[in-house]
Amino acid sequence: MLKRLPFIVFLLFIILVWKMLSTHSAHFADVLINKRLPAFSVYTLDKNELTDKSLLGQVTLLHIWAPWCSVCRAEYPKLNDIKAKYNITMVGIVYRDSLLNTRQWISVYGQPFDQLAVDEKGSIGVALGITGVPETFVIDKNAVVRYRQLGDIHEEDWNEHIWPLIQQLQKS
């Protein structure tokens, strides 16, 4: 039995590591999942203050993007489609771009957001824990982060994960 002890210890260790890796991810993208959206404050194009508390009481698709970002530009028609086809509150925050550029962009390409704010200095990015744009969060009625998408939203992500989750959260 003693001779086999190292092998048993090693086997137990491998099982534990596998179990931990399969149930928990230390990746920063998962850090905010099931946690309250961090506090933030930013102003919308209409000069109204938008905070984390503004999102209470509704399920929200919070999208962080920027007109200077090529992936965001390519994704933009999808956001217009989502707003047209689905019943969902969409809030956008423009990261590190000007009010002028944002106004010009939406005048040409449309405005799918119920509220659109501009974070010209990039302070909201860190407050929300983002590492780049685009990023999308599904926020529940208690302002808890339920889903986070790094990069653009693919059709499979929307159909298989995001929309079913939004429907479930809207019913609860």
Q: List strands edge to edge, sheet with 115-119.
A: 115-119, 89-95, 60-65, 135-139, 145-150
Nearer to another protein, 110 or 129 (CB): 129
> Is 1 near another protein (CB under 8 A)?
no
Q: Give the span between the Cα atoms of 80 and 85, in whole angstroms.
A: 9
* Site membership for another protein, residue 172 (CB under 8 A): no
Is 10 a residue that touches another protein (CB under 8 A)?
yes
Q: Is 120 exposed, middle or buried (0-12, 13-18, 19+ CB in 10 A)?
A: middle
53 binds another protein (CB under 8 A): no
Alpha-carbon distance of 54 to 19, in angstroms, equals: 38
CA 78 to chain centre: 15
**Residue 27 binds to another protein (criterion: CB under 8 A):** yes
Of residues 48, 80, 104, 131, which one binds another protein by CB under 8 A? 131
* DSSP state letter for 47: S
Minimum distance of another protein from residue 135's CB (angstroms) = 12
The identity of residue 143, as a single letter, is: A
CB of 10 to another protein, least distance (A): 5
- Residue 15 interacting with another protein (CB under 8 A): no
Q: Which stretch binds another protein (CB under 8 A): 24-32, 53-61, 101-109, 147-155?
A: 24-32
Count of CA atoms in the C-beta half-sphere (13 A) of 108: 8
Neighbours of 36 (CB within 10 A): 12
- One of 24, 47, 85, 171 touching another protein (CB under 8 A): 24
Residues that bind another protein (CB under 8 A): 5-7, 9-10, 13, 16-17, 20, 24, 26-28, 30-32, 38, 96, 121-123, 125-129, 131-132
